[in-house]
Amino acid sequence: MSEKISIVRRLRLEANALGEFQAYASRDYGKMLLDAADEIERLTAERDEIQRELLKAETESSMIRVECGVIAAERDEARRMCCERAAMDESGYVKHGDMLHFAESRGWNCFVEDGK
């Protein structure tokens, strides 16, 4: 089984095979092949850099999503505490229905599992 040769390597081999003593048109063809190989390498390097940047952005995005989840959980806990305090009477008794009403009247869904 023969080894697969990259397009860049094939272009460079073809350009070198033309040799320096070929006709002018062949030298132009050889330069075109070398320019094409250079451009492919440049684009490959650019693609690789973009892939590295994308991976970094995906990692940062994942970290932000986790942080947002933590912040939302803390917000909901603070809202529940506020509702509890608002629904507490002078004796310290908290009416669950009043807590829910207080939250609902403010558009809070802090008593819903995974509330958004």
- Name the residue type at position 63: M
Q: Considering the chain, what is the average pLDDT of its residues?
A: 86
Q: What percent of the chain has pLDDT over 70?
A: 87
Measured CA to CA, the distance from residue 101 to residue 65 in angstroms comes to 30
Summarize pLDDT for 33-48 with one digit per residue, the tens: 889 999 999 999 999 9
pLDDT score for 115: 46
Distances (CA, A) of 96 to 66, 79, 83, 111: 30, 14, 9, 11
pTM, full prediction: 0.57
Mean pLDDT for 67-86 is 94
In which band, very low, low, confident or very high, does the pLDDT at 57 lie, cut at 50, 70 and 90? very high
Residue 46 or 21, more confident: 46
Measured CA to CA, the distance from residue 5 to residue 47 in angstroms comes to 20
